[in-house]
Structure formats: C-alpha cells, structure tokens
C-alpha cells in the first residue's frame, strides 16, 4: 500500500513537551502496583484474592511456580506503554522477550479488559481475579510464560533469543506500527538476539514501522549476573551505538524517579521515531537513521521481599523465580507474603467488587489500541488471501516424460515474481533467505522487487533497494524470526534455505510448531498463513560444498511435531513444485517443508498431471511401469527429485533388461501420505496404502533423506516387512552428483540389483543382468575418479 500521511505516528505537541504530571505519575504508579499485586497473586494464591481475610495456607497454591524477578519491570513498561499509546493514539504492540514473566502480561491484559473479552469466565471482578490467580500455572489452567493463550502476544517467552527478530518481522510493511521490543539481559546473551540487533539495517523507515528496543537490565539470570548488566558503561554504550541505536538510559530504584525518567525517555524516543519517519516519508531522507532505544536498569524482583531468612533477595538472582517458598514449613513466610501483597495497598486499587478502580486506568487505551487487543497480535484478523496466480501459466511443456529438464526453483521464481507484483501495493508477502535467493535460482523475483537494504549502496551492487521485499542476511535465525513475526501479524512469506543449514533454526521451528498447535485450539486466535520452507541446494546436490552441506535431517525433526501442523512435500520435478507452491502459499496454520532441487531435473509430469499427483499425494505412474493390467512383481517407489530420477532410470533399465518383469512405479510427493490415516490427516488408510504399494510384494523405495524415516512412517503397514529403503546414509563429500548416489547405494544400478535380490526367483534367472549392473556401477566409479565428472551417459540420460 502507499504510505499515507495517516501512517506516520502523530506527535501531539502536548505529549511531547509536557513532562509527566504528578497526577499522571500517581495514575501510573497505581496501575503498576495493581499489576504487581495481580502478578504476586497469580504466583501464590488459590483463593482470598483481595486479602479480605487473613492469609492462610489454604489460600496458597501447593506448587509455587512462576518467574517473579522480571515481572515488576514488565509491569512498569506495560504501564508506560499504555500512557504513550493513549496520549499519542499509537498503533503499538509489544514483544516480551522475558516472557517467562507471564504473570505480568496476564495481569495487564486483565486490567485493560482484553483478557475477559477472550476468556469471558475470567471476569474483571473479584471472582474473575480469583480465577485469574488460580488458573496460573495450575493444571488445566494457563502456562507460566507468555504463550499463545496470552492475548496481545505473538511471542512465546520460553525459549529466549527471538524478541528482536520477531519485532522486526512485525514491523516490516506495517508503516503505522510501533513495536516495543523488551529484551531481557539474559536473553541478550544468546546468539539469535545478538544478531537480532542488525534488523535495523533492513528496516525501511518509509514502508516499515518502527521497532523500539527496551533493554531491561535487571542484572541477573537464574544464578548469575548478566554480561550486559556488568559491562562498564562506556562499553555498553559503545555496543548499543555500534548496533546502530541512540540509547536513552533510565536507571533507579525509586519508583517516582523511575516513572518520570521512563515517561520522558519514551516521549523522547517516540518523538524521535516520528521525526525519523517524517524525514524519510516527507523529506526523502535515505540515510539509515540511528533509531532510539531505551536501557532500563531496575532491580530484579523490585518491590518484592528485600531479604528472606536473612539472605538478600530483591535485586539479586534469588528473585528470579519464587522469592518466598516453603510456606508450609515456614509460617513466617505466609506472614511475609501477606505483607508483601498488602504493600501494594489493594484496597486503593480494587473496589468492593474487585474491579480495578478508575483512578489507575487513566492511561489504559480503548478497544483495539490496547496492547492486549491490538489486531496485529492476532494476525489472522488482518490476513488477506494471497493472490497466487494460476500456476498453469508457468508450467513447463512436457511433450514426453523425461525428454526435457528444467531447474525447478527457477521455474518457481516466475510465480514468486508475480506474487510480488500482485502484492506491490498491499506489501504483505516477503521472501527470506540467507544470501541465497539467486544461488537458489529464484532471481526472477528481482524483476518485481529488490533486496531490502538500508546501508550504503555501491554501483557494483545488484537488486538492492530501500523498499525491497526480499530479505537476505547471513543469519538463518534472523530469517526465521523475521518470517515468524511477519506471519504472526497476518502476512505471508517463504523462507528459502540450503537444506543442511535449516538445522540452525530447528529449535525455532519447534517453538513455532508448538505455537500453532496451541493456537489451533483457541477459538479467538484466527488462522494465520503457514510457515513455508523451501529447502533447496539439497543433500544430493551439495556435491561441490561437501559433507558439511549434506544433511536431510530437518524432515525427520519436523515430523515429530503436531500432525495437524506439519506437511512435507517432495516434488519430483518443476511442474510438481509449482503445484506444491500453489498449495502451501494458500494454506493456513501449517509448517510446510518443501525440498526441491535447483539443478536441471527431468520433467516428468505435465502441469495437470502434477496437480493431480499432488491431490493424490502418492500416485502410481502407470506410464512408467510394466505392470499394466496385472499384479506387479515389484514396486519401485521414489520420494524426492533425485530419488525419482534414479528410480526412473532403474525402471528404464529393468524394462530393457528384464522386460517380462511387472514393475510398478510409484511416486510420493506428499510424504505424510505414508502415515496411517489415524496418525496424520493426510495419511492413507490401509486399504489405499495396499492398493498402491501392495500388501506382499517387494517395495524398493528410494527416499530423499535418511532411509529409516520411511520405516518410521510405515511400520504399521501390512506390507512393511517387504519395504526396502535406500536413501542418504550420511556418506558425503565433494564429488560428482552421480557419485553421491553411488556412495549412498541409491543409484539406478543398485536399485536394479535390489529388485533382482528381492523378487523371488530372479536371483538365479537374472544373475547375468545383476553382474552387468555391478560392472556398470564400477565402471562409473572408475570413470568419475579418473575424469572428475560423471559419465556422459548419466549426464545426458533421458527416459524417453
């Protein structure tokens, strides 16, 4: 969309110039006390939420769980964000890196009413407060961290490292949005977060929103000081300036002082953001701005117990989780807990009915402006269907199977280019990759958009553009985090990666799968676009980079996740990749893994056949087999482009050398079809499986990845004992493509030998053919070692 005047945040003169008034300070402080009270209540209380009677063990949870240490800081920030949203009418969301502090976000959503709107039984009164407390970290209740269940969140707080990349992902192509990204000083030690700062080199102040990092230095992790909190000031300051920011420092342990300083800092930063955006949008400034950020240094576990049993707790690592424990054994601790809760003066905060008093809600925004209700945090509310063109228009002609060859990803590039074109105004589709978009042959997209880049540009650079929607950075963590943030705020995208290195984000994919799994069961969370991986430069064709680049195990990893969420596609040729792309780009709430090569690959199916093949997931390629009208003697199955080529070549050899053998050729494009229908929604039922693979004939199966995955998917099938799988056996190096399949025993000659070894009766009758295959195989190996390339008959082989 064109950026309009309205997209640029307002900076009302009043808010900018007037410092926080005493009344405003009182409002903020009351809100903060209320949120802190509600957080402590969640950690400790089963009942007696308003302390209307003396606290006893009966009111206290048997298992005390939760992270107190970060909570008061999160509440403080939330209170102040409310203020700037209200005074400036900001479109703002927040990302809580220290999402372990779940009680804070839950308290604040409850205070602004967002919580009760999506969970009507947790009302904003005494009874609702009791439920809010009881459910926290309680069986059948809500998790202890910020999670999909938490309104206003797009960020799980369990695994640390992704706050900044999620924030940038949310800000891209959302010119009116400000994303407040709270970074904990523990999280700041992680690798993903450490490179997350570089997101600002890719943020276009014209078409993207703003990210306001708030580095919260509370000093301690579980048991240690944090690195950033202990750096000398000059070093910390240099680091943050080196990250491209202008840091504004807020420090202290006196609430009033900190309130004033934080309010001023936020006003300063938001004025600066508005100035930057005006300069870029109206005055045409093109130099990358030095965006402001806040460093907030407050005590860990602030306002909690100062010492417990003679040991300092507040402002130490001991405040990390539950500062007062062993309540059953220490009646004194029950009293301390009561004092702690009362120190917030709950009667000033909640009325008779337990409702928050209006005096503390003065800065709480209305409706969708609330942090707990901003629609960007429930991206499905904003999602529009992606205008994917009819992929038939991009199909390659297939006059006869295997007669021509195309680079599948290059063909896909045309589709992606036109999706880019169709979304030029909407700007809700992006491509992410670690410096490999062109290497992966998708470069046609550059006809429609550039690579986003805010640094200097030189004449030698190609396709760089301030407003480009391809994002390339040599960090799979940033690519993944940006894409997640982009999807979770209601947009679409694709991550193309070398297959081996997608393992770098295994853990992030885990967490996203968990997010989707949980969200699926929350009626108020609307479906979002799927996370699509294009794994190319795959295991079989990294013959030039060698062993470190040869690893197909990400598929094994992803199939461990919720079957409703994960899909794996192995298109055998260019048209099949088009069909798959069309499906995955239109899907919702999934993680789609597509493994497809970038090297020339024989064209097997016309586009209609390809679409039909994908619809079936597994097809018998009758035209390729010799079992027409009869029971097959053997099934030759393939999943993946290179396996398909070897299987087709084996079928061709069998047709020539053993013409009487009834060979059935099967191709698997949707790997989940192999699972039983009870285990996966795409699974074939047993009847369907047997109809394709037979219940009792030998199946020689060539698979793209580790062969045992096929056994793991099919172990319950009737004919399982007859399935013999060839695949990647972790043998690799820098060598030729054909040598790679030979090294791993997946070459055409080996497959023919497997058929001869497995079909009853052939061992003797085809002994000569077997020897020929063996000789041929050795001849190839010798040739490769002599000449350094594959024999022409492999390179030039066609099926037809």
653-682 residues near a second copy, rule: CB under 8 A: none
Q: Is 696 helix (H, G, I), strand (E, B) or coil?
A: coil
Q: Choose the binding region for a second copy from 70-78, 512-520, 665-673, 764-772 (rule: CB under 8 A).
A: 512-520
Residue 15 CB, shortest distance to a second copy, in Å, is 30
Closer Cβ to a second copy, 644 or 735, answer by number: 735
Q: Which is nearer to a second copy, 122 or 391 (CB)?
A: 122
Handedness of CA 559, 537, 478, 531 (dihedral sign): negative
Q: Rule CB under 8 A: which of 726-765 touch a second copy?
A: 730, 733-736, 739
Q: How far is the CB of 692 from a second copy (least distance, A)?
A: 20
Q: Does 105 bind a second copy (CB under 8 A)?
A: no
The distance of closest approach from Cβ of residue 13 to a second copy in the complex, given in angstroms and rounded to an integer, is 32
Smallest distance, Å, CB 529 to a second copy? 22
246 is an interface residue for a second copy by CB under 8 A = no
Q: What mask of x and - would describe binding to a second copy in positions 342 to 381, judged by CB under 8 A?
A: ----------------------------------------
Strands 618-620 and 663-668: antiparallel
In whole angstroms, the minimum distance from the beta carbon of 722 to a second copy comes to: 12
Q: Could you give the dihedral angle defined by the CA atoms of residues 23, 26, 27 and 31, in that order, rounded to the nearest 10 degrees?
A: 180
Rule CB under 8 A: say whether 503 interacts with a second copy. yes
Instruction: Tell me how far, at minimum, the Cβ of 414 lies from a second copy, in Å.
Output: 19
Measuring CA to CA, which residue among 127, 85, 103 is closest to residue 38? 103
What H or E segment, with its residue span, contains residue 665? strand 663-668
**How crowded is the C-beta side of 160, counted as CA atoms within 13 Å?**
17
Q: Does 141 bind a second copy (CB under 8 A)?
A: yes
Give the nearer residue to a second copy in terms of CB position, either 27 or 303. 303
Q: What is each CA distance from 87 to 17, 90, 108, 416, in whole angstroms?
A: 12, 8, 18, 42
Contacts with 783 (C-beta within 8 Å, 6 or more apart), sequence order = 790, 791
Q: Is 90 left (phi over 0), alpha (psi -120 to 50) or beta?
A: beta
Q: How far is the CB of 27 from a second copy (least distance, A)?
A: 33
Distances in whole angstroms, Cα of residue 296 to Cα of each of 94, 240, 493: 16, 13, 34
Question: Is the Cβ of residue 31 or residue 317 nearer to a second copy in the bound state?
Answer: 317
Angle between helix 767-787 and 748-758 (nearest 10): 160
Nearer to a second copy, 167 or 178 (CB): 167
Give the residue among 622, 6, 7, 43 at the shortest CA–CA distance from 320. 43
Q: Residue 397: how many CA atoms within 13 Å on its side-chain side?
A: 1
709 phi-psi bin (left φ>0, alpha ψ -120 to 50, beta other): alpha
CA distance 418 to 409: 14
Minimum CB distance to a second copy, residue 504 (Å): 5
Q: Which 291-320 positions form the footprint of a second copy (CB under 8 A)? A: 312, 315-317
Inter-CA distances, 715 with 82, 340, 719, 758, Å: 55, 58, 9, 19
Minimum distance from residue 665 beta carbon to a second copy (Å)? 24
Number of Cβ atoms within 10 Å of the Cβ of 282: 12
Pick one of 474, 691, 763, 767: the residue that binds a second copy (CB under 8 A). 474
**Contact with a second copy (CB under 8 A) among 420, 473, 609, 699:** 473
Residue 274 Cα distances to 1, 16, 282, angstroms: 20, 11, 11
Minimum distance, C-beta of residue 240 to a second copy, in the bound complex (Å): 7
b/e burial code for range 615-631 (CB count within 10 A of at least 16 → b): ebbbbbbeebbbbeeee
Site stretch for a second copy (CB under 8 A), options 17-25, 386-394, 505-513, 577-585: 505-513
CB of 752 to a second copy, least distance (A): 23
Kindly write out the interface string for residues 431-470 of this chain, putting x where it contacts a second copy by CB under 8 A and - elsewhere: ----xxxxx-----------x-x-xx-x-xxx-x------
Q: Which residue in the set 12, 19, 546, 678 belongs to the binding site for a second copy (CB under 8 A)?
A: 546
Least CB distance to a second copy at residue 358 (A): 33
- Candidates 14-22, 224-232, 569-577, 685-693; binding stretch for a second copy (CB under 8 A): 224-232
CB of 156 to a second copy, least distance (A): 5
Whole-angstrom Cα distance, residue 421 to residue 417? 6
Tokens found for residue 333: 């601790």
Our finding on whether 392 is near a second copy (CB under 8 A) is: no
By C-beta, is 226 or 619 nearer to a second copy? 226
Count residues contacting a second copy (CB under 8 A)? 121
Residues 1-60 that bind a second copy (CB under 8 A): 46
The residues, ordered by sequence, that sit 6+ positions from 341 with a Cβ below 8 Å of its Cβ are 37, 40, 41, 44, 51, 55
787 lines the binding site for a second copy (CB under 8 A) = yes
Between CA 365 and CA 650 the distance in angstroms is 68
Enumerate residues 119-138 that contact a second copy by CB under 8 A: 137-138
Unique residue bearing structure tokens 């300051």: 237
**113 counts as binding a second copy under rule CB under 8 A:** no
Instruction: Give the nearer residue to a second copy in terms of CB position, either 349 or 566.
Output: 566
Which stretch in 105-113, 358-366, 574-582, 701-709 sits in contact with a second copy by CB under 8 A?
701-709
Would you count residue 186 as binding a second copy (CB under 8 A)?
yes
Check binding of 504 to a second copy (CB under 8 A).
yes
Q: Which is nearer to a second copy, 161 or 698 (CB)?
A: 161
Instruction: Supply the DSSP symbol for 253.
Output: S
Which of residues 343, 510, 587, 798 is near a second copy by CB under 8 A?
A: 510
Shortest gap between Cβ of 584 and a second copy (angstroms)?
Answer: 22
| Residue 234 CB contacts under 8 Å (≥ 6 apart), including other chains | none
Based on the shown chain and the rule CB under 8 A, indicate whether residue 194 belongs to the binding site for a second copy. yes
- Yes or no: say if 104 and 78 are a contact pair by the CB < 8 Å rule: yes
Residue 745 contacts residue 751 (beta carbons within 8 Å): no
């Amino acid at each position: 969309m064109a950026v309009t005047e309205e997209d640029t945040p307002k900076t009302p003169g009043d808010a900018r110039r007037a410092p926080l008034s005493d009344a405003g300070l009182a409002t903020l402080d009351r809100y903060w006390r209320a949120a802190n009270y509600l957080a402590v209540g969640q950690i400790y209380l089963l009942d007696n939420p308003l302390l209307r009677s003396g606290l006893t063990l009966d009111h206290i949870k048997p298992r005390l769980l939760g992270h107190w240490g970060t909570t008061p800081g999160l509440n403080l920030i939330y209170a102040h964000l409310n203020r700037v949203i209200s005074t400036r009418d900001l479109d703002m969301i927040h990302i809580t890196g220290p999402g372990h502090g779940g009680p804070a976000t839950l308290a604040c959503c409850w205070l602004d009413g967002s919580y009760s709107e999506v969970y009507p039984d947790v009302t904003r009164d005494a009874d609702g407060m009791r439920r809010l407390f009881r459910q926290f970290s309680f069986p059948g209740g809500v998790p202890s961290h910020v999670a999909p269940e938490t309104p206003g969140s797009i960020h799980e707080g369990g695994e640390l490292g992704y706050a900044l990349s999620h924030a940038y992902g949310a800000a891209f192509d959302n010119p009116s949005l400000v994303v407040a990204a709270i970074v904990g000083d523990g999280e700041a030690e992680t690798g993903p977060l450490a490179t997350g700062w570089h997101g600002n080199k890719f943020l276009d102040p014209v078409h993207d929103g703003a990210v306001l990092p708030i580095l919260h230095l509370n000093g301690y992790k579980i048991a240690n000081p944090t690195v950033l909190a202990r750096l000398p000031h000059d070093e910390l300051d240099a680091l943050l300036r080196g990250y491209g920011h202008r840091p504004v420092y807020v420090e202290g342990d006196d609430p009033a002082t900190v309130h004033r300083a934080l309010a001023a800092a936020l006003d300063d930063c938001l004025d600066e953001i508005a100035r930057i955006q005006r300069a870029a949008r109206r005055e045409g400034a093109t130099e990358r701005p030095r965006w402001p950020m806040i460093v907030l240094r407050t005590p860990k576990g602030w306002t909690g117990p100062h010492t417990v049993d003679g040991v300092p707790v507040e402002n130490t690592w001991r405040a990390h989780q539950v500062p007062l424990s062993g309540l059953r054994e220490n009646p004194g601790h029950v009293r301390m807990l009561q004092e702690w809760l009362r120190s917030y003066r709950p009667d000033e905060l909640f009325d008779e009915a337990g409702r928050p008093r209006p005096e503390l809600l003065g800065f709480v925004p209305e409706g969708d402006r609330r942090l707990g209700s901003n629609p960007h945090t429930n991206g499905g509310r904003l999602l529009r269907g992606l205008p994917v063109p009819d992929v038939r228009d991009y199909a390659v002609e297939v006059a006869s199977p295997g007669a021509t060859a195309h680079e599948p990803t290059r063909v896909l590039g045309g589709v992606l280019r036109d999706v880019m074109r169709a979304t030029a105004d909407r700007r809700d589709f992006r491509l992410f990759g670690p410096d490999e978009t062109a290497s992966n042959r998708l470069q046609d997209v550059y006809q429609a958009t550039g690579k986003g880049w805010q640094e200097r540009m030189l004449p030698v650079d190609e396709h760089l553009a301030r407003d480009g929607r391809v994002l390339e950075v040599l960090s799979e963590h940033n690519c993944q985090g940006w894409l997640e943030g982009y999807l979770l705020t209601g947009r679409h995208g694709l991550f193309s990666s070398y297959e081996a290195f997608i393992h770098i984000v295994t853990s992030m994919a885990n967490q996203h799968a968990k997010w989707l799994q949980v969200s699926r069961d929350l009626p108020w969370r609307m479906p979002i676009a799927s996370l699509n991986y294009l794994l190319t430069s795959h295991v079989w064709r990294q013959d030039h980079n060698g062993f470190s680049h040869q690893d197909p195990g990400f598929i094994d990893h992803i199939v461990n996740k919720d079957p409703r969420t994960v899909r794996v596609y192995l298109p055998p040729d260019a048209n099949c990749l088009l069909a798959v792309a069309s499906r995955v780009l239109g899907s919702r709430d999934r993680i789609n893994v597509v493994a497809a090569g970038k090297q020339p690959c024989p064209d097997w199916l016309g586009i209609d056949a390809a679409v039909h093949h994908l619809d079936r997931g597994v097809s018998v390629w009758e035209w390729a087999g010799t079992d027409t009208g009869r029971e097959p003697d053997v099934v030759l199955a393939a999943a993946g482009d290179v396996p398909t080529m070897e299987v087709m070549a084996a079928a061709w050899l069998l047709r020539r050398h053993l013409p009487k053998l009834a060979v059935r050729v099967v191709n698997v494009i949707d790997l989940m079809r192999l699972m039983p229908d009870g285990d996966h929604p795409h699974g074939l039922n047993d009847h369907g499986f047997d109809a394709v693979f037979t219940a009792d004939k030998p199946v020689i199966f060539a698979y793209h990845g580790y062969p045992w995955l096929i056994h793991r998917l099919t172990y319950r099938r009737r004919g399982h004992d007859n399935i013999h799988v060839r695949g990647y056996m972790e043998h690799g190096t820098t060598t030729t493509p054909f040598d790679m399949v030979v090294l791993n025993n997946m070459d055409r000659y080996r497959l023919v030998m497997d058929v001869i070894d497995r079909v009853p009766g052939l061992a003797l009758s085809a002994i000569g053919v077997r020897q020929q295959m063996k000789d041929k195989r050795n001849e190839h190996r010798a040739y490769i070692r002599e000449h350094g390339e594959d024999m022409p008959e492999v390179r030039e082989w066609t099926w037809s």
